[in-house]
Amino acid sequence: MDYRYECLPELERKPARKRIVVLTGAGVSAESGLPTYRSDDFALYVDNDCINLATPQGFRKNPAAVLDFYNKRRLQLAQAQPNHAHMLLAELEKWHDVTIITQNVDDLHERAGSTDIIHVHGELTKVTSSVSRRDPACVKEFPLDVPMKLGDMAADGSQVRPYVVWFGEKVHYYEKSVRIVREADIFVVIGTSLRVTPAANLIKCPLPSAMKFIIDPCDPFDPCDDNYPEGYEHIRKNATVGMEILIDRLMEME
């Protein structure tokens, strides 16, 4: 089916409103030209040591290098655009109550029009204190096309840093995310390897009564794992095609 965003509201019969919770990962934004950490064409952690670029100790050791690394990522994000999958997720809000829990640090869900988004790994569009990362008074929007520099200060007088979760740091809003997933009528996982915890543990949180889908060309679940989650319908497609199939499935359920 060829989905045109402006045509979606023209359905003759609107589906019964459901509580949909969506967990998204890098595979959603990859189709907007933002390569994943593990992709062959973007060897972030092959050419660059993650200990030096994505940890608090790396920042303390060489803050200029870390700021430069993230300035490049921020500029790349400024040039990216939401793709078909982002748009369809936003359109779902016309039919259902949708919450997106994203592991992505980009703002493409927001730009596509989604309104209820939880960023568990932070946001590249913001900076914060290098001393009190989670202090709300220190978190502020920072234009993507403006580079962070040594000497840029947070509200507490410390050097600013990207408002992203580095290795060894606690993720944002995890307990809230668990609660929201448990309230879902439908839970959807899109474009994530499910290798990064604790966000990956959210797949175990939906109630047995919830319908569960995973959209990914590969199977991120290990069938030999004792905790292999059951009850998921696997749509073995990329995010954009998979979202079209998902919408068809939701319409069939009505």
For residue 5, what pLDDT band results from cuts at 50, 70 and 90? very low
Locate 174 and state its tokens. Answer: 């995890």
Locate 65 and state its tokens. Answer: 């290098």
* Active-site residue list: 121
pLDDT in tens, 129-175: 999 999 999 999 999 999 999 999 999 999 999 999 998 999 999 99
User: Where are the strands (E) in 96-224, listed by range?
Assistant: 97-102, 117-119, 122-129, 140-141, 160-164, 186-190, 211-215
- Quick one: 38-79+127-164 is in which CATH superfamily? SIR2/SIRT2 'Small Domain' (3.30.1600.10)
> Containing H/E element for 117?
strand 117-119
- pTM score: 0.88
Q: Is the peptide bond before 15 cis (omega within 30 degrees of 0)?
A: no
From the options 3.40.50.1110, 3.40.50.1220, 3.40.50.12160, 1.20.1260.10, give the CATH code of 16-34+82-121+170-254: 3.40.50.1220
Percentage of residues in the chain with pLDDT exceeding 70? 84
- Do residues 154 and 178 make contact, with C-beta atoms less than 8 angstroms apart? no
pLDDT in tens, 96-117: 999 999 999 999 999 999 999 9
Residue that is written with structure tokens 């259902």 in the block: 96
The whole-angstrom separation of Cα 155 and Cα 127 is 11
